[in-house]
Structures are given as C-alpha cells and as structure tokens.
Amino acid sequence: MKNLLFSLLFTAVATTSYSQNNTYQLSSHILDVSSGTAAIGVPVVLEKYDETTKIWSYVDEKTTDKNGRIIDFLNYKETKKGIYKLRFLVADYFKSKKTDSFYPFIEVVFQIKDANHYHVPITLSSYGYATYRGN
C-alpha cells in the first residue's frame, strides 16, 4: 500500500513539474538538427502586425534558454488576437559554432485567433529550417 501511495504521489509531482506553463500564451523552441541539440542563446524578437497601418511593431525580445526554449511570450493578462512574427536571430549562434550559415535570421509569421496556447518551434540547420504549430 505504501508503494502504491508513493507511486501515485511521485506521478502527480512529476506531471505537475513538467506540465506547460499556462501563464503565457506563446512559446517557442529551436532544435539544431545538424547536431541534434537545443540552440542555446539565440535572441528571438516578437512583433505584431497592425492590419490598418500595415506596420509591424515591437512586442518583446527573449533569448533561448539551456533547452533552446522560450516559454514566456505574451502574458495571458495582456494577450490580443492578431498576426505576429517571431524573428530568430541565428547568425551569431552559427558563428559561435564556427559554422557557415545561409540565414542571418529567420522570420515566422503566424496568426493568433483565440485564447489557446501557441507553440511555434523551428528545427534548424545552417542551410535550412522548418516550422510548425506545436503544442
């Protein structure tokens, strides 16, 4: 019985500590597929598009952590629907790896249509990238 209770408690703690932070609506992640590792220390700029003026405006800038992640874009208290752009500034990342790269930065444009969480990751190599809507 003690083992069962311990197992249930361990599972609850593990699930809680690894669950997604729901305080923020937008997160991102960069995986360097050429090395199979997280892209650490990459600056990422978030901008929002004004459909009336056709102008992009700065919202925030963060840097990927030791896991290649940014989990805290767009606090739910301030969230607005709209068209956004993440600009991944990858030039210095590749320079630090002593790797030539075709892309000095990568821009991903996407639309937030509701109050759900949006995860916009990229897989990256020096001559290519891919993106998708994650969870």
69 labelled binding-site residue:
yes
Separation between Cα atoms, residue 73 and residue 62, nearest integer Å: 8
132 labelled binding-site residue:
yes
Which region holds residue 54: left if phi is over 0, alpha if psi is between -120 and 50, else beta? left
Separation between Cα atoms, residue 127 and residue 125, nearest integer Å: 5
Q: Which residues, other chains included, contact 52 with Cβ-Cβ below 8 Å and sequence gap of 6+?
A: none
Asked if 24 and 72 count as a contact pair (C-beta separation under 8 A), the reply is yes
117 labelled binding-site residue:
no
What's the CA dihedral at 135, 76, 60, 111 to 10 degrees? 50
Instruction: List residues forming the annotated binding site.
Output: 29, 69, 132
Residues in the annotated binding site for substrate: 29, 69, 132
